Structure 1
Amino acid sequence: MDKLSKRNGTFERVLTLSTVLIIIAIWYITTKLNLVSDTLVPSPGKVIKAFIEVLQNGYKGSSLLTHLGVSMERLLIAFILAGITAIPLGLLSGYNSKIRAILEPIIEFYRPLPPLAYYTLLVLWMGIDNSSKIALLYLASFAPIFISCMSAVLKVKKDYISSADTLGASRSQVFAHVIFPSCLPDIFLGLRTAIGVSYTTLVAAEMVAAVSGIGWMVLDASKFLRSDIIFVGIIIMGLTGILLDRIIRYIEIKVVPWKGKE
C-alpha cells in the first residue's frame, strides 16, 4: 500500500508539473505568434525582465520586498485576528442555538456583499490608513472561518456526545475532548478558505490611499498599461498564496494526523 501511495504521489506531481509547463508553453506560443497584443499579454521573457527590473530597482520608490512585506503585514494581522475571534464564536454558535440565532444573521447578511460595497464605510469610520484595510481583510476572513466552525459542530455525530455523557463527562469536557477534536479538520478548511478569500480582497483593500503593497503595485501598473508589471504582481500573489496555504496544510497534518484515516 505504501509503495502504491508513493507511486501515485509521484505520478500526481508529474501531472502538476506537466500542467504548469503546458500553460507556460501555450503562453509563450501565443505571444511568439502575436496572436494577442503584447500590451494585453506580455511574453514570458518580458515578464521575467520586468521582475528583474522591479527586484533591482523597486517600484515607485519602494523595493519589491517592501511591497510584499506591507501586503503580508496587512493580510496576516487581519487573518490572525479573524482566526482568534471567528473560531471560538463559530464553535459556540454551533454548540449553542441561542448564540447561533444572534450571530448567524449578521454573518449571512454581510458575507455575500462585495468588499468595495462596505469598504467606503470603513474608510469613513476608520480613516484611510492601514486600520481600514486590515478591517476589510478581517471581515473577508471572518465569515468563512465562522461558517466552517459552526457547520463542523453541527455535524458532529450524536453518538460521540451520547457516549461521553454516558461516561459522566461534563459539558465542558464534552466540548474539549469530543466536539473540538472532531471539528479540527473543518476549522483548518475554514482557515485555508479564509486566506484565499482575504488575498482576493487585498487589491480592493489597497485601492484607497495606498502607496505600497503588491495589490497597489498591480493596480498602479494598470494605469500605465504595464501589463508586464501586472503579471509579475499576479504571479507573486499566486505563489505567496500557495505558500501560505501549504503552511496551513503542514500545520494541519501535525495537529490533525488522523484526518482521512477514520
Structure 2
Amino acid sequence: MPPPERAAATPAKTAPAARVSRFIGLEEGSTRWISVGTIAALLLLWWLVTAAGWVKPLFLPSPQAVGRQFAEYLTGQANDLPLWRHLAASLARVMGAFVLACATAIPIGLAMGMSRWARGLLDPPLEFYRPLPPLAYLPLIIIWFGIDEIPKVLLIYLSCFAPLALAARSGMRSAAPEQLQAALSMGASRWQLLRHVALPAALPEILVGMRIAVGFGWTTLVAAEMVAASSGLGQMVLNASNFLRTDIVVMGILVIGGVAWAFDLLMRRVERHLVPWRGRA
C-alpha cells in the first residue's frame, strides 16, 4: 500500500492530463451512442417538417417517400436499373481511380519529401491544379479522351491524386532527425532509411490522405458521371433531377453519403490497425 502522501499526490499529478484528455476528446468511452442519437434526431426532424407540411414535397420529400423509392430500386421494381447496378458502376469507377492514385501519388509524394529536385519539379503543377474544381477541366478531359470510361475515371483520379501526394510529402518530414541520424550511424543505406524509418513515420499522414482522397473521389462522382454515363449513382441522381423526382435524388444522395461514410469507417479501422501508436504520445 503506497504511503499516504504519495496516494494523495497521485490524483493531483494526473488531474491536468485528465482535463487535457477531456478537452481534446481523448477520454475513454465510445461516441457511438451520441452518433446514433444525432442520426435519430435528424430523422425525427425530417419527418416532423414533412409531416407538418412546412416544406412542399417537391423541395423535400418525406422519409416514407424516400424509403419507398429505396425499396423499389433495391428490389428492381423501379423504372430504371436496379440499385446494385448503379452502385457497382460507381464503386468500380471510384475504387479504380483511388487504387491508381495510391499507386502513383504516394511514390511521387515520397520522392518530393526526399528530393529537392523532385519537389522543385512537381510542386508547381501540383499546387496549380489542386485548387481547381473538377468541373473546370472536365470539358478539356472530354475533348481529349472522349465520353467513354476513361474521362470518368481520370476525373476521379485527379481529385484523389493531390491529397495523397501532399500527405505523403508531409509525412516524409515526420521522421525525427535523431532517428535518421541513428540509422545512418548504424550503416543504413538510403533504401533501408526509407523502408525502416521514413516510411513508418509517414504512414499516419499517408492514411489520413487516403481517407481524404476517398472522400474527394465520391465528391467528384456526380461530375464524372455527367459524361454520358448509362449507370452509376451520380447518373441516377442527375437523371432524376431532370424529371424533378426529388425523392429519388434524396435517396441517391443518402446512398452516396452512406457508402462514403462506410469507406471512411473502414479506413479508420485500417489506420487503428496499422498505426496504433497515433495520438498516444
For normalisation by structure 1, the TM-score amounts to 0.94
Q: Among residues 24, 29, 45, which one is paired with 1:9 in the alignment? A: 29
Deviation at 1:127, TM superposition (A): 1.2
Deviation at 1:54, TM superposition (A): 1.6
What is the aligned residue count? 259
Q: What is the identity, as a one-letter code, of the residue corresponding to 1:47?
A: V
1:31 aligns with 2:26: no
Local SS of the residue matching 1:145: helix
Q: Among residues 132, 135, 140, which one is paired with 2:154 in the alignment? A: 135
**C-alpha distance in structure 1 between counterparts of 2:263 and 2:44, whole Å:** 27
Q: What is the identity, as a one-letter code, of the residue corresponding to 1:138?
A: Y
Aligned to 1:67: 86
Aligned to 1:195: 214
**C-alpha distance in structure 2 between counterparts of 1:9 and 1:225, whole Å:** 44
Aligned to 1:184: 203
**C-alpha distance in structure 2 between counterparts of 1:232 and 1:130, whole Å:** 25
Task: Provide runs of 4+ in structure 1 moved above 6 Å.
Answer: none
**C-alpha distance in structure 1 between counterparts of 2:243 and 2:74, whole Å:** 19
Aligned to 1:109: 128
CA contact (8 A) 1:140 1:197 kept: yes
Deviation at 1:253, TM superposition (A): 2.2
Gaps of 5+ in 1: none
Which of these two proteins has the greater Rg computed from alpha carbons? Answer: 2
Local SS of the residue matching 1:108: helix
Query: Map of 1:153-168 to 2, 5 A cutoff?
Result: 153-168=172-187
CA contact (8 A) 1:83 1:145 kept: yes
Residues 131-174 of structure 1: per-residue CA shift (max 9 Å, x gap): 11000000000000000000111232212111212222122211
1:230 aligns with 2:249: yes
Aligned to 2:143: 124
Query: Map of 1:74-93 to 2, 5 A cutoff?
Result: 74-93=93-112
Residues 99-158 of structure 1: per-residue CA shift (max 9 Å, x gap): 011111111011111101111111111110111100000000000000000011123221
CA RMSD, 1 decimal: 1.9
**C-alpha distance in structure 2 between counterparts of 1:72 and 1:64, whole Å:** 12
CA contact (8 A) 2:73 2:81 kept: no
